[in-house]
Amino acid sequence: MIYSQNKIEFTIKDGSFSNSHEEIIHNKNSRRYKLNLTTSQYHETRIFWNLSSSKFRDDLGFEFYQYQSSRNKLNNGLLAETIVSLLNSTKIFGNYSAQKNDFLKIWLEYKHPIIHNKSRPYIGDFISFIYNKEWKINNGYDHTDFEYETLQEGEIILF
């Protein structure tokens, strides 16, 4: 399913969507398979999202993003206020209706995460939202009290 408004398109992951960046290449050290990128291609990023439902945390499991604070803006200029107004104006996730404490996370990843057999550094920026009668920007650590189960995920395309 695709939703488009304000030059933002949410695509929902299906069987053909692949988040895997690794390709199998025989003889990786061969010059034939060397990846030559321009500066703009090297810095090119993709935007991913993950919608999760909450359940109360009964153990002390650790996930890295849970102990980071959400930002109000991603490195590429996408603002949290733009996304929250879009979320509250219409249904983006198909037939899904949000429940209390549902969590939406949007983050950046490099388009080419592995170059010359070396992984690129983690970007670390993400914006997150929590549902409580309406979607709100997560301005702190409100999400740390819950454990989340992924419902839907996909990619955001900007025009």
C-alpha closest to that of 113 among 19, 9, 8, 49: 19
C-alpha span between 125 and 70 (Å, rounded) = 8
Assess contact for 97 and 66: CB atoms under 8 A.
no
Alpha-helical (H) ranges within 34-130 are 39-42, 80-89
Query: Residue 26: helix, strand or coil by DSSP?
Result: coil
Does the structure show a pLDDT above 70 at 109?
Answer: yes
Q: What is the pLDDT of residues 11-69, one digit of tens each?
A: 888 754 444 555 555 555 566 666 778 888 888 889 999 999 877 655 555 555 555 66
pLDDT, position 60? 56
pLDDT, position 51? 92
Tokens describing residue 86: 């879009």
Higher confidence at residue 4 or residue 110?
110
Let me know the angle formed at the C-alpha of 147 by 89 and 111, rounded to the nearest 5 degrees: 65
| Angular region, 149: left φ>0, alpha ψ -120 to 50, beta rest | beta
Report the DSSP pairing between strands 8-12 and 146-158. antiparallel
pLDDT, position 39? 87
Assess contact for 101 and 129: CB atoms under 8 A.
no
Does the structure show a pLDDT above 80 at 108?
Answer: yes
C-alpha span between 117 and 120 (Å, rounded) = 10
Does the structure show a pLDDT above 80 at 131?
Answer: yes
| Positive/negative CA dihedral, 60, 63, 64, 68 | negative
Tokens describing residue 58: 């009964």
The pTM is what? 0.76
